[in-house]
Amino acid sequence: MNIISFDNFLLFAFTSFMLNITSGNDMIYVATRSINQGIKVGVISAIGIALGCLVHMTASIFGLSLIITQSA
């Protein structure tokens, strides 16, 4: 089993964080939900997106993204 170095892990974590805080489709989605249905729905949408990103980052850390790509 190949374990990544701590420096590479920090680089991955920083890059993932920066990609998550930049605006994009998820920002448009949250803004639209907030405008149309209220702040509470917008906050719930943002939490859902954040949890989805966390699951995806965790999966990629453990190499599941590679396994899924090779099986397709």
Full pLDDT tens readout for the chain, 72 residues:
567 788 888 888 898 888 877 878 888 999 999 999 999 999 999 999 989 988 988 887 778 767 777 876
Structure token digits, residue 38: 């209220």
| SS3 assignment, position 18 | helix
Helix axes 6-21, 39-61, angle to 10 degrees: 150
Question: Which pLDDT belongs to residue 46?
Answer: 93
pTM: 0.61
Which pLDDT does position 65 carry in this prediction?
A: 67
Q: What is the pLDDT of residue 41?
A: 97
Q: What is the pLDDT of residue 63?
A: 80
Where are the domains positioned within the chain? 19-71
